[in-house]
Structure 1
Amino acid sequence: MSLALFDLDGTLIHSEAGIVGSMRYALTQMGHEPPPQAVLRTWIGPPLRQTFPTVVGNDPAAIEAAVAHYSDRFDSQGWAEYEVYAGIGDVIETLAARGFTLVVATTKVLPRAQRIVDHLPFGRHFSRVYAPTGEGRHSEKAQMIAQALADFGVAAGDAVMVGDRYFDIEGARANAVRSIGVTWGFGGRDELVEAGADVIAAQPSELAALILAERAAA
């Protein structure tokens, strides 16, 4: 196993404050009462154009206006409202030292994702960030994983996807890639098990050993 793909929000960083704060701002600007915090947490991960319609309706103009308001706040302050999960830096350093190629695969649009990764203390270890471009490319996790396999010339059996939501796991399964679901993010164990995660990690301190075990078994 030579390639490890990591989701960003809920896997590497705890970004709830910036994302949810920007969602609340967008909906308020549109004249809507934001849903409760518990509901907004479930919106972290999926594309905004899939989640905003549940409140603003299906009118494309309203959806795009909500996305624009979100962008205004997130790009000015929300992007920096995150914390790196304790122990994640050690995981990345360990895997880099063991020769893994490391990439990020996230549904956060590419300019924002790249900005955050560039500011991470261990961001230099990531060879590439796969994310939606705004032009319809790499909008689904399965597409990102497939592109990473092709770009690095890695067979599916030599890769692992690490993420906190069902679509991370489903994207891996669509490519016959092993998956590790992490429970410290926004999905939870039940969601990950139901999606078919091969392994579950309960805390970052377990992650490096689990990935190395996947390599040994490959």
Structure 2
Amino acid sequence: MTTLLFDFDGTLADSLSAIVTITNRLAPEFGYRPTPWEKIEALKGLNARQLIQYSGISILKIPALLRRLQTELRQQSTLIPPCAGMPTVIQALYERQHTLAVITSNSPDIVRTFLATHQMQDCFVNVDGGGTLFRKGKLIAQYLQRNSFDLAQTVYIGDEVRDIEAARLAGIRSVAVTWGFNQREVLAAANPDWLVDDPEALQAIADAV
């Protein structure tokens, strides 16, 4: 069976609106440019590093901003909807006896509350997270080492260029999904092993690995 490691925001959870609302409210306090709603689609064409540069936030302020963002997301975690079609696909993957886990830059307790709210908590063997925006590759590698998974039968599923990069750093293949925070063209340019537009495509990938 395949081990499927999932990103959270933009892959499992449709949290973009909540994140933009919170970060726009915090913009004056942290001294960066807020995100106009009419520019959301265009900004999906930027990877995480380019988005940081666009916002004008000081690199030194990012850890504190992430902590504040997670504090506020924690209060809304029962209200965040799943990405369309994902609960059904997660249940199907679980019933096929694939191993599912979440590895995210977000806080694990936010993820666990979300999964419980949407009756997906029993489908996942583990939730791992925290750290910085660009530490995910190390998080994945450490998780793989602790669990002795077969790298050839393990994939990381995410919605951003940094997810593809993290999987590559950890020595596993990547699945990029197009319903999240980065545009399809940007994801394709990062050369994921699979690029999918429909959650149901994940079932075929899992069965084929």
TM-score where L is the length of structure 1: 0.79
**Does the aligned pair in 2 maintain the 1:25–1:69 contact within 8 Å?**
no
Change in Cα spacing, 1:209 to 1:65, as seen in structure 2 (3 Å) is: closer
Q: Deviation of residue 2 (structure 1)?
A: 2.8
Whole-Å separation in 2 of the counterparts to 1:151 and 1:192: 29
The residue number in structure 1 matching 2:26 is 26
Instruction: Say yes or no: does 1:57 pair with 2:58.
Output: yes
Instruction: Say yes or no: does 1:94 pair with 2:95.
Output: no
Whole-Å separation in 2 of the counterparts to 1:153 and 1:199: 24
Q: Deviation of residue 198 (structure 1)?
A: 0.7
Instruction: Say yes or no: does 1:200 pair with 2:191.
Output: no
The residue number in structure 2 matching 1:153 is 148
Instruction: Say yes or no: does 1:15 pair with 2:15.
Output: yes
Q: Secondary structure at the match of 1:196?
A: coil
Q: Secondary structure at the match of 1:13?
A: coil
Q: What amino acid does structure 2 have at the position aligned with 1:141?
A: K
The residue number in structure 2 matching 1:122 is 120
**Does the aligned pair in 1 maintain the 2:159–2:181 contact within 8 Å?**
yes
- Unaligned residue ranges in structure 1 (runs of 5+): none
Residue of structure 2 aligned with 1:143, choices 134, 138, 150: 138
The residue number in structure 1 matching 2:182 is 187
Whole-Å separation in 1 of the counterparts to 2:103 and 2:111: 9
**Does the aligned pair in 1 maintain the 2:155–2:172 contact within 8 Å?**
yes
Q: Deviation of residue 166 (structure 1)?
A: 0.9
The residue number in structure 2 matching 1:212 is 207
Q: Deviation of residue 120 (structure 1)?
A: 2.8
TM-score where L is the length of structure 2: 0.82
Q: How many residues align?
A: 206
Identity of aligned residues (%): 28
**Does the aligned pair in 2 maintain the 1:145–1:172 contact within 8 Å?**
yes
Q: Deviation of residue 75 (structure 1)?
A: 3.2
**Does the aligned pair in 1 maintain the 2:175–2:194 contact within 8 Å?**
yes
Q: What amino acid does structure 2 have at the position aligned with 1:57?
A: S
Q: What amino acid does structure 1 have at the position aligned with 2:58?
A: G
Aligned-residue Cα RMSD (Å) equals 3.1
Q: Deviation of residue 45 (structure 1)?
A: 9.4
The residue number in structure 1 matching 2:111 is 113
Whole-Å separation in 2 of the counterparts to 1:144 and 1:166: 16
Q: What amino acid does structure 1 have at the position aligned with 2:86?
A: I
**Does the aligned pair in 2 maintain the 1:19–1:44 contact within 8 Å?**
no
Q: Deviation of residue 132 (structure 1)?
A: 1.1
Change in Cα spacing, 1:44 to 1:108, as seen in structure 2 (3 Å) is: farther
Cα distance per residue 1:187-217 (max 9 Å; x no partner): 1222222222111111112221122122xxx
Q: What amino acid does structure 2 have at the position aligned with 1:102?
A: L
**Does the aligned pair in 2 maintain the 1:142–1:174 contact within 8 Å?**
yes
Whole-Å separation in 2 of the counterparts to 1:33 and 1:204: 33
Change in Cα spacing, 1:98 to 1:22, as seen in structure 2 (3 Å) is: same
The residue number in structure 2 matching 1:132 is 130
**Does the aligned pair in 2 maintain the 1:52–1:63 contact within 8 Å?**
no
Q: Secondary structure at the match of 1:76?
A: helix
Q: What amino acid does structure 2 have at the position aligned with 1:22?
A: I
Q: Deviation of residue 64 (structure 1)?
A: 6.0
